[in-house]
């Protein structure tokens, strides 16, 4: 049962100290801390705990999901990959100027992995991040049944300090979906950074949008202040699958 002192500490927002009050008192007694030393300890532990909780909240809200760290990325596999530019993106150099990052690569070369690592780095840098696929974003926006609800969700996506949209180009868009994606990009234009991944070169974007004008307008806003990072080569996932298929199987028992 919490003591009155612990309850008062919790009410003041010192939840870590309240939860560990007996341990703190025992430690202060053992080390014969002065009042100043005790207060310094309380401030330090509370700051550390609040930093930890803030990081956990940002990670949970980012929706990055499970991913592979860049330390596992095989730089020798792509036939073309601008490693310095990718590493600059991972250092978040683009955020200060509200620049965009567009990762262009065929399926299986690691563009989503790179985008997830950018998102992860941004979370650890104290940024509020949202990682989503184009399909998820458009499903959310398209399901709004009122103008007010749609405006609220558009503002949500427009105002995230860093938004990452994965898998643009895997599906074709109808007129409304194209307009919604354009609105998200336009509202962030020159205000907040966007990271976008696509399996198609820009020259092929008219094939997934209802008319060429929509694709041209979207591309114009995306690339005006953007670093275009292109990866070329064969699917890394396919290489792994083929290696597993060709590896000798152990003999069956009996």
| pLDDT tens-digit map of 71-90 | 999 999 999 999 999 999 99
Q: What is the pLDDT of residue 29?
A: 92
pTM given for the model: 0.81
Q: How far apart are the first and last CA of the chain?
A: 62
Strand 129-133 versus strand 100-104 pairing type: unpaired
Q: Identify whether residues 88 and 208 lie together within a single domain.
A: yes
Q: Identify whether residues 51 and 103 lie together within a single domain.
A: no
Q: Identify whether residues 150 and 51 lie together within a single domain.
A: no
Q: What is the pLDDT of residue 252?
A: 54
Q: What is the pLDDT of residue 246?
A: 64
Phi and psi, residue 177, nearest 5°: -65, -40
Q: Which domain-ending residue is among 20, 42, 61? A: 61
The CA angle 243-244-250, to the nearest 5 degrees, is: 125
Q: What is the pLDDT of residue 99?
A: 96
Regions of the chain short of the pLDDT cut 70: 1-2, 237-254
Q: What is the pLDDT of residue 254?
A: 44
Q: What is the pLDDT of residue 36?
A: 93
Range of the domain at 24: 4-61
Q: What is the pLDDT of residue 209?
A: 87
Asked whether the beta carbons of 111 and 105 are under 8 A apart, the reply is yes
Residue 249 lies in a domain: no
Q: What is the pLDDT of residue 247?
A: 63
Residue 121 lies in a domain: yes
Q: Identify whether residues 24 and 142 lie together within a single domain.
A: no
Number of structural domains the chain divides into: 2
Q: Identify whether residues 127 and 191 lie together within a single domain.
A: yes
Q: Which domain-ending residue is among 61, 82, 109? A: 61
Q: What is the pLDDT of residue 140?
A: 96
Q: Identify whether residues 122 and 38 lie together within a single domain.
A: no
Residue 248 lies in a domain: no
Residue 205 lies in a domain: yes
Q: Which domain-ending residue is among 41, 61, 81? A: 61
């Amino acid at each position: 049962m919490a003591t009155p002192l612990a309850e008062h500490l919790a009410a003041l927002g010192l939840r870590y100290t309240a939860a560990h009050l007996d341990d703190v008192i025992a430690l202060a007694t053992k080390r014969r801390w002065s009042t100043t030393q005790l207060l310094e300890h309380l401030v330090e532990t509370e700051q550390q705990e609040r930093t930890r909780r803030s990081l956990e909240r940002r990670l949970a809200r980012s929706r990055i999901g499970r991913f592979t760290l860049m330390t596992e990325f095989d730089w020798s596999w792509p036939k073309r990959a601008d490693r310095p530019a990718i590493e600059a993106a991972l250092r978040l150099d683009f955020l200060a100027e509200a620049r965009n990052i567009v990762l262009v690569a065929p399926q299986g070369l690691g563009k989503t992995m790179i985008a997830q690592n950018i998102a992860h780095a941004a979370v650890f840098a104290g940024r509020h991040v949202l990682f989503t696929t184009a399909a998820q974003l458009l499903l959310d926006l398209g399901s709004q049944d009122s103008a007010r609800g749609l405006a609220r969700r558009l503002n949500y996506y427009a105002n995230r300090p860093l938004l990452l949209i994965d898998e643009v180009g895997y599906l074709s868009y109808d007129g409304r979906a194209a307009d919604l994606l354009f609105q998200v990009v336009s509202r962030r234009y020159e205000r907040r950074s966007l990271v976008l991944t696509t399996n198609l070169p820009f020259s092929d974007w008219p094939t997934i949008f209802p008319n060429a004008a929509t694709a041209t307008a979207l591309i114009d806003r995306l690339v005006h202040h953007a670093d275009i990072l292109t990866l070329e080569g064969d699917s890394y996932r396919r290489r792994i699958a083929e290696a597993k298929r060709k590896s000798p199987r152990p003999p069956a028992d009996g």
